[in-house]
Structure 1
Amino acid sequence: MDHISFLVVAVIITALAFDFTNGFHDTANAMATSIATGALRPRTAVLISGALNLVGAFLSTEVAKTISGGIVDDSLVTPGMIFAGLIGAIVWNLMTWLVGLPSSSSHALFGGLIGAVWVGAGQHGVHFDKVIEKILLPALASPLVAGMAALLATYLAYRLTARSRDKAVTKGFRFGQIASASLVSLAHGTNDAQKTMGVITLTLISAGALEHDAGPPVWVIGSAGLAIGLGTYLGGWRIIRTMGKGLTDIQSPQGFAAETAATTVILTSAHLGFALSTTQVCSGGILGAGLGRKMAEIRWGTAGRMVVAWCVTLPAAAAVGAVAAGVVVHGGTLGTVLVGVVAASAAAVIVLLSRRNPVHSENVNDGTSVAVRPAAAAV
């Protein structure tokens, strides 16, 4: 217990807060298409997803090890740097949630950590070869692979059922969607909860509470799984609307194809230690499913905004993490408190802004736009 200082406790709490935002930010990855097609009721969908995220957290720790000892040098990292990196990730998650933009929580976390460690420990504190191998290359390949798989699966689904009764086919694929969406939730818990496990483990290593190259303790696995599960149950309705209705008009065969393709990519990569963005994989699957159905409308403007957000996420979170690290590393406890207060204030403002144009389980399928109304229009 001698190693558990105020700063270490603050980092662990902040890491679990990030995990919570990751949950509601990424609920759409698993359940957006099932909600959009009516395969599951919105509240039922997020309950199933939250429970399976918790279960998935216990299936593997390979991604956690990639983060705790892969992309940064754990011998140079301090709890203050990790705290600053988490602040960058949380702020970006909340900003993109506000505008209903499916950006990558994973890349927000990686960017925040890279920016904070670069400022706090210098350039040599970041393993850029691992960043390229484990993060950037999978980020380029995974949505393309998921998209191609979903496109082919969608094409085959419509060809094989072309002469079948529409109602029977729809009912069958909706049952299939329940299974495939559940698997995406399980995969999300396996992949994304591990990122918080890795951050907490890295903190404990940097504080001397764990040995170098140690894996996450059981209590870390359980708390990370619970935090992401609770966040998922809260339901990131704004992003669910964008992914379910904003990219293309999804039918049940497409939803099943997109979810199955995404699950395969995520689970395979998680066991190989690749820290994928589940948002990018699932979005690629949805676009592929849209392209696989004849006459389906693809909203390329929305897709383009998402791609821009993907490109901006890592450097934007890195910038926030770098600024926060400059304050925390040189300001000590006072700097940590100051950064925490500023971040909490920013989060409160974002939540208040979201109430001007609320999206919830009752209206999530009503439209595609979640733009925040100007103050004058909200009156």
Structure 2
Amino acid sequence: MALTFALLATAFVFVCGANDGAALLALAVRHREVPPYAVLAVLLAAVAAGPALFGLTVARTFTDRLLDPTDRRGPLVVLAGVTASLLLVGVLTWRGVPTSITLAVLGGLAGAATGAGAHTAWDTLGGVLVIAAAAPLVGGLLGLLFGRLARRLPTTSRLPVVVRLAHLAAFSGQSLAYAANDGQKMFAVVGVGLASLHGTAGMRTPHWSVLVGLAGVFGAGALFSLRRMARGATFGLLPARPWRLVSAELASAVAVFGSAGVGTPVSMTQSMAAGLVGAGASQGVRRVRWQFALPVLVAWLVTLPASLLTGLVMGGLLRGVT
């Protein structure tokens, strides 16, 4: 059981890096004003420091609010639900289409718990989904606002320096927002694995050494998938312009940070794509390449029901052997 959970957690963190991390880096390196290793270091530092800086409130939504933390079958349900989400997200990531691993995990856990006959807090899931749906809308509106404000900035000889600093600040905020919210699904899976190793229910706070290792696996996944993600649909949404990209980074950071404040997991990739659309639309809706939005939208719409059904199957198999 412990070995299985260790392998699952490693694979899950790697896929999170390949989907979420690669999407964040692919946007950041399009600036070309800051070395790629610098933005990678910022992202990994934020991930490793996430629990110390922000606690595990969002992580506990997966383990304590959605499921029954006292159920001894909890680790097996998490095992089945996360496996279901990995199957789906792995296929989409391989095709270069970033989707919401958060939605996939929520659907997989709910489906696995239901299939296994365990408690599922459907009211909690419904509330989370409402906020998760609102976050991209907020990101899009903020991208539109920041894009319009950026157009009013005067052109001076110092503008390249200002853009570089704004990019670093925006990406740092985005990385911290990810660690405070979307990235906490990794802490939840690893924490449940640690609790299972110690024979307890619920989740345990990962030690700093575990978090450093987690950040390393996450970074490996991000680098592995970076080129494929950079060629994907999200980054064809609009031509790269420095202030548009900074506007999208700021918009997604604010939207995701705001959701973390109420302990609700939302998708950074969804908010980021919406921020890109909003930033592009600030110069006219024709600036957005809407044909690239379709595969992203389809991936989002498919993720939750597909992971829920897959989780039901996995939970049913779990019920049959326990």
TM tier, smaller:
0.7 to 0.9
Deviations 1:314-347 (A, max 9, x none): 1112222222333344246xxxxxxxxxxxxxxx
Map 1:1-80 → 2, pairs under 5 A:
7-60=1-54, 61-76=56-71, 77-80=73-76
Could you tell me which residue of structure 1 aligns to residue 240 of structure 2? 250
Name the CA shift for 1:180/1:270 in 2 (closer, same or farther; >3 Å).
same
How big is each residue's C-alpha offset from its partner over 1:115-172, in whole Å with a ceiling of 9 and x where there is no partner? 11110025xx1101100112x11121101111111111110111232xx24x643442
> How many residue pairs get matched?
319
Please report the TM-score for the alignment, with normalisation by the length of structure 1: 0.75
Match of 1:308 in 2: 298
Find the aligned partners of 2:94 and 2:265 in 1 and give their Cα distance. Answer: 25
2:167 is aligned to: 177
TM-score by length of 2: 0.88
SS in 2 for 1:36: coil
225-234 or 142-151, larger mean C-alpha shift: 225-234
Equivalent of 1:102, from 98, 102, 110?
98
User: Which consecutive residues of structure 1, in runs of 5 or more, have no partner in the other structure?
Assistant: 1-6, 333-379
RMSD: 2.6
**2:86 corresponding residue in structure 1:** 90
Deviates more, 1:178-187 or 1:194-203: 194-203
| Separation (CA, whole Å) in 2 of partners of 1:99 and 1:275 | 25
> Cα offset for 1:179?
2.3
- Give yes or no for contact 1:120–1:329 (8 Å, CA) kept in 2: yes
Q: Is the 8 Å Cα contact of residues 247 and 286 (structure 1) preserved in structure 2? A: yes
Give the one of 149, 155, 161 matched to 1:156. 149
The runs of at least 4 aligned residues of structure 1 exceeding 6 Å deviation read none
* Percent of aligned pairs sharing the same letter: 29
Question: Aligned match of 1:317 in 286, 307, 313?
Answer: 307
> Aligned pair in 2 of structure 1 residues 244, 130: CA closer, same or farther (>3 Å)?
closer
Instruction: Indicate how the Cα distance of structure 1 residues 208 and 42 shifts in structure 2: closer, same or farther if over 3 A, else same.
Output: closer
Distance in 2, Cα, partners of 1:234 & 1:54: 19
Helix, strand or coil: the match of 2:97?
Answer: coil
Gaps of 5+ in 2: none
5 Å matches for 1:109-148?
Answer: 109-122=105-118, 125-134=119-128, 136-148=129-141
CA distance in 1, matches of 2:211, 2:59: 10
1:295–1:288 CA distance, 2 compared to 1 (3 A): closer
Correspondence for 1:285: 275
Aligned-partner residue type, residue 108 of structure 2: G
C-alpha distance 13-192 of structure 1, shift in aligned 2 (>3 A): farther
3-state SS in 2 of match to 1:192:
coil
Quote the residue 1:366 is aligned against: none
